[in-house]
Amino acid sequence: MLKIENISKSFSKVQALNNVSFEAKDGQILGLIGQNGAGKSTTFHSILRFIEFAGKITLNNHEINVKDFNKVGYLPEERSLFEDLTIESQITYFAELKGRDKKWVKERIDSWLKRFEVKGEAKDKIKSLSKGNQQKVQLICTLIHEPKLVILDEPFSGLDPVNADLLKKEIIRTKENGAAIIFSSHDMNNVEELCDHVVMLRNGNVVLNGSVDEIRNQFGKKYVFVTTDMSVNELAALDGVSEVVARGHNRYKITLTDEEYGKALFNAVSRGEYIEEFSQQPPTLDEIFREKAVAKHA
């Protein structure tokens, strides 16, 4: 388990991190979210000891150190590969840096290329690959040595939906093998789909920390998705309704002033009869992200 306790970091007059604390547990996926400049990459760089910081970071109850890094897989936001190396040489090079020998790596390369559906052979040079396939090779370099802590900085950036799904499968596989995984993403759908836990930073401060369900439920079940033959004006006139948005023929998204109005709304639109759709839900993680990102106060 990775534990971050009250870490702070400033660059000149900019406070990049301010007493940030959270845990990334083994066999779980943590999403670290926030706008550009919120402190996500600074947090990653602190974990990896790229920078000095105030506070404490421990891995399995001891202060993280150089010896631990053989068990860490890191995908930086800025991708970089040696274009004149072959795929095999590139993957082997990074795996050897993590303590794996050439024979061990060579036995696994073809399997990894197949799993990520890389369009190329192990002896092909990196520069012969498309940008997407180069990115998949870098992901393999991050994971092939079987790390116990995986840090992925915007791993889905530049991937089409098919290749993003391949990465998701590999992230889940790595989680099932017991690794602690942290990834950052601006796509809240990916975060909501994959993460057991979410931490949101804003201006270097933690403003959300909990499971996806815990975070969503903090904001109340104020949205109702309903199918009804009532008009927009009729719905808007009901008690507790603050906004009605049409989603298609007879389908609406209704925002309540308080979730307690949900029962009365159901009775009003159903009139005691069957209705095709009535779903009362908290805001999505994407809606919460937008709200918290622009808020002046947490």
Same structural domain for residues 178 and 266? Answer: no
The per-residue pLDDT for 157 is 86
Same structural domain for residues 134 and 73? Answer: yes
176 vs 52: CA distance, rounded Å? 32
The per-residue pLDDT for 295 is 66
Query: Is 295 inside a domain boundary?
Result: no
Of 157, 180, 213, the residue that ends a domain is 213
pLDDT, one tens digit for every residue, the chain (298 residues): 999 999 999 998 899 999 999 999 999 999 999 999 999 999 999 999 999 999 999 999 999 888 899 999 999 988 789 999 999 999 999 999 999 999 999 999 999 999 999 998 999 999 999 888 999 999 999 999 999 999 999 999 888 899 999 999 999 999 999 999 999 999 999 999 999 999 999 999 999 999 999 999 999 999 999 999 999 999 999 999 999 999 989 999 999 999 999 999 999 999 999 999 999 999 999 999 988 887 654 4
CATH code assigned at 50: 3.40.50.300
Query: Is 298 inside a domain boundary?
Result: no
Q: Structural domain of residue 30, as residue ranges?
A: 2-213
Query: Is 96 inside a domain boundary?
Result: yes
Query: Is 286 inside a domain boundary?
Result: no
Query: Is 32 inside a domain boundary?
Result: yes
Same structural domain for residues 135 and 227? Answer: no
Same structural domain for residues 206 and 68? Answer: yes
Q: Please, which contacts does 276-281 make with residues 24 or more away whose CB atoms are closer than 8 Å?
A: 276/227, 277/225, 277/226, 277/227, 277/251, 278/224, 278/225, 278/226, 278/227, 279/224, 279/225, 279/226, 280/221, 280/223, 280/224, 281/221, 281/223, 281/224, 281/225
- Count of domains in the chain? 2
